[in-house]
Amino acid sequence: MIVTLTPNPSLDRALEVDRLRVGEVNRAHGGHLHPGGKGINVSRVLVRHGVPTLAVLPTGGADGARLIEMLAEIDVPTLAVPLVDHTRSNLTLVEGTGVTTKINAPGPRLTPDEVDALLAALETQLATRPAALVCAGSLPLGAPETFFVQVAGLAARYSVPFVLDTSGVPLTRAVRQGGLTLVKPNDEELAELVGRELTTVGDVVDAAREVIAACTRAVLVSLGAHGALLVLADGVWWAGGPPLVPLSTVGAGDSTLAGFLVADGSPADRLRTAVAFGRAAVLLPGTAVPGPTDIDLDAVRVVENPDPRLALKEL
């Protein structure tokens, strides 16, 4: 069982347009509605690959109720914590070239009691000793910047491996506190975390090792179209594949993380699977997630100890 926590879930509405014309009337020729939120996306992928999971999330209002209904329709088990405020809706505009423009609403404001209720609900699941806890996405209004530090403390109390995919100050606070099993930033989030520009493989590896030095076991860095880097204390691996023409990049990083969790074997094998999942996701519309038949492991190349002098755009 892998438990996911999505503190600020959403209903994701995606509209397809030939080309986005800012300031003009744009007519969509297609659309999709999916359950949204990074942790939820991870659970959706896990379900499609037969891995037991439970999605913990706060919900409120009509959109919150619809979100739970949609997750039930695709067999994603949930533990919902009720809110007075309403679950948000996000909008993604997908152009024919694959370029995506995402507009994320701020989401509900949680009261201190609702934050406590969310943590308490999570603790009931951690007490069952799941295989891992994945916390992913932004924090809702009202949640303290130390929220993921509190979650890390709960995971440590029950000896549950803790995987974190977030950004900004909440990521910085959690990394400084330590005790994380895996952190999955993209290169921009990692650059913000260490406070400097990252332009080469060596830059990314050095930054990831700073995170590891603060008591995180592994760092999985998404590089977008340029693949991903996995950094451990004793090794570095890069994986990527031939260029793709994406339908949508929304949720690709979440699929990458799910692929890493699904995989067995060596670090190289797990990274290959992670990148294959991410590549499969960008070939699907909206925030659809890949199933087993979408995964092409053979298209992914893995390099141990890639040249640190290489620019990221050269990968």
pLDDT digits (tens, 9 = 90+) for 36-63: 999 999 999 999 999 999 999 999 999 9
- Give mean pLDDT, residues 217-235: 96
Q: What is the DSSP string of 151-209?
A: HHHHHHHTT--EEEE--HHHHHHHHHH--EEEE--BHHHHHHHHTS---BHHHHHHHHH
- The partner residues of 201 in beta bridges, in order of sequence, read none
Instruction: Answer yes or no: 206 catalytic.
Output: no
Kind of pairing between the strands at 132-136 and 53-59: unpaired
Q: Tell me, what's the pLDDT at 181?
A: 98
- Give mean pLDDT, residues 103-114: 94
Whether the predicted pLDDT of 249 surpasses 90: no
- Give mean pLDDT, residues 276-301: 93
Kindly state the percentage of the chain with pLDDT values over 90.
86
Taking the chain, what is the end-to-end CA distance rounded to the nearest angstrom?
A: 35
Q: Using 50, 70 and 90 to split pLDDT, how confident is the model at 31?
A: confident
Q: Tell me, what's the pLDDT at 51?
A: 97
Q: Tell me, what's the pLDDT at 32?
A: 83
- Report the distance separating Cα 138 and Cα 281, nearest Å: 21
pTM, whole model, 2 decimals? 0.93
**Which residues are CB-contacts of 5 (< 8 A; sequence separation ≥ 6)?**
39, 56, 57, 122, 133, 134, 135, 136, 151
Among 75, 206, 254, 307, the active-site one is: 254
Per-residue pLDDT reduced to its tens digit, 263-284: 999 999 999 999 999 999 999 9
> Distances from the Cα of 218 to the Cαs of 158, 182, 205, 237, 303, in angstroms?
20, 5, 11, 12, 17
Q: Tell me, what's the pLDDT at 245?
A: 87
Under a CB-based contact definition with an 8 Å cutoff, are residues 190 and 170 in contact?
Answer: no
Q: Tell me, what's the pLDDT at 250?
A: 79
